[in-house]
Amino acid sequence: MLEHLNREVYAAGEVIFHAGDTGDSAYIVEDGSVEVCVNTPDGEQVVKQIGKGELFGEIALIDHKPRTATVRVREKAVLIPIHRKLVGELLEKTDPIVRHLLLLVMERFRGNGTPARNPASATESALDLTQRNKLRGEATQKLAMAHDITRALNKDEFALYYQPICDLGSGKIAGFEALIRWHHPDKGTISPLDFLWLAEHTGQIRDIGLWTLERACRDWPTLRRQTEHAAPFVSVNMSASQLTGEGFVEAVSGILNRHSMPSRELKLELTETVIINNPEQALGLLGRLTELNIRLALDDYGTGYSGLDSLQRYPIATMKIDRAFISNMQSSAHSREIVTSSINLAHSLGMDVIAEGIETGEAHEALLGLNCNYGQGWHFGRPAALH
């Protein structure tokens, strides 16, 4: 059964690890319980019981030193191992001061082989019990979910849904936006907003991003048959952290080749965060993508910083006006004004425009009147699995 993959089952009495072993994993207790035994320098043994939903072996996630405790199973236990690789990147991205403090505390905790009496107390002594439990609970939950994401990638639990993008003049489908869904074996379908933020923190977004591109290119011949447009495209979302990973352009180019996909028909949607995070690096990267003939779209236009500078300086072919302005157009003169001036600005810079979130015929008409090129929204079709 899927939900039992990547779990380890231990019988009562089994030792998970000994003090002195090298450690590279922590464990979440899904069921049963274990006892953590620490020998203090004065020969005393401190034993702590760890039960369902709790985490142990966590220090190995942070330093690379031998285990300070022996952990033995009390009653038959189901454990989810969390490998150091999973948090390595999180730690790298942590504020340097926090990281330094964490390592310092860890050093003290390990200092002269003198573990604190309570295996967990050194890092947490400054917090009261409620705060401590809350922090532990949140961290444990996140780790479990990150572990789940890895399994989802390996077990093909992600799916791409496609939403049509229509030419407002002719009403024909011009392209599709690929939107990820997670068909979780226990939790049902999970929206991207509920797991991508964590994948970004752990760096798993890069593998997800490559999977998404691979899948969209694989599906493209089927999707393409649903359009008669002169310049059809499939649009794939890219978050800032996946773009800045090493070898991204090469990976994209490899995927296009493998699927014999014309690069002109792939659009990458990015937000201003990519540019704001590192303007110079973005200029180089976006330039290399357009050299491959890939078109770029600026997503969620209007919600962020929206410097005119980014529109002019970067090779962006398409502006996507955020749904918030489109859905308010009918009721708010302010939104209408923003939409009108954004369309005019984009056109004056040689870009085409997609309006997001068109839910009604009136919105369609109004945008057509403003010379908007394309539209996307429930009025034209919801995101759906490939058929």
Please count the other Cβ atoms lying within 10 Å of the Cβ belonging to residue 111.
Answer: 11
Binder among 25, 243, 300, 372 for ligand C2E (CB under 6 A): 300
* x-marked contacts with ligand C2E along 312-331 as a string, rule CB under 6 A: -----------x--------
Alpha carbon distance, N-terminus to C-terminus of the chain: 28
Q: At its nearest, how many Å lie between ligand C2E and the CB of residue 146? A: 16
Binder among 140, 163, 237, 318 for Ca ion (CB under 5 A): 237
259 φ, ψ to 5°? -100, 10
Contact stretch for ligand C2E (CB under 6 A) within 22-30, 74-82, 97-105, 374-382? 374-382
Binder among 59, 300, 353, 376 for Ca ion (CB under 5 A): 300
Shortest-Cβ-distance residue relative to ligand C2E = 377
CA atoms within 13 A on the CB side of 373: 19
Binder among 123, 237, 342, 373 for ligand C2E (CB under 6 A): 237
Burial, 125: exposed, middle or buried (Cβ in 10 Å; 0-12, 13-18, 19+)?
Answer: exposed
Q: Which does 357 bind (CB under 5 to 8 A by kind): Ca ion, ligand C2E, none?
A: ligand C2E
Please count the other Cβ atoms lying within 10 Å of the Cβ belonging to residue 135.
Answer: 13
| 306-315, Cβ contacts within 8 angstroms, sequence gap of 24 or more | 306/272, 307/272, 308/345, 310/272, 310/275, 311/345, 311/346, 311/349, 311/351, 312/349, 313/283, 314/275, 314/282, 314/283, 314/286, 315/286, 315/287, 315/290
Q: At its nearest, how many Å lie between ligand C2E and the CB of residue 176? A: 12
Binder among 55, 299, 353, 372 for ligand C2E (CB under 6 A): 299
Find, among 250, 243, 247, 249, the residue nearest to 276 by Cα: 243
* x-marked contacts with Ca ion along 242-281 as a string, rule CB under 5 A: ---------------------------x------------
Q: Is 302 in the site for ligand C2E (CB under 6 A)?
A: no
Distance of CA 313 to the CA centre of its chain: 27
CA–CA separation, 343 vs 8, rounded Å? 56
* x-marked contacts with ligand C2E along 169-198 as a string, rule CB under 6 A: ----------xx----------xxx--x--
Quick one: CA torsion of 44, 60, 80, 122, rounded to 10 degrees?
50
Q: Which does 230 bind (CB under 5 to 8 A by kind): Ca ion, ligand C2E, none?
A: none
Site for Ca ion in 191-230 (CB under 5 A): none
Q: Is 227 in the site for ligand C2E (CB under 6 A)?
A: no
Q: Which does 239 bind (CB under 5 to 8 A by kind): ligand C2E, Ca ion, none?
A: ligand C2E
State the DSSP code for 89: H
Tokens of 282: 């973005």
* Residues found near ligand C2E in the complex (CB under 6 A): 163, 179-180, 191-193, 196, 212, 237-239, 299-300, 323, 357, 359, 376-378, 383
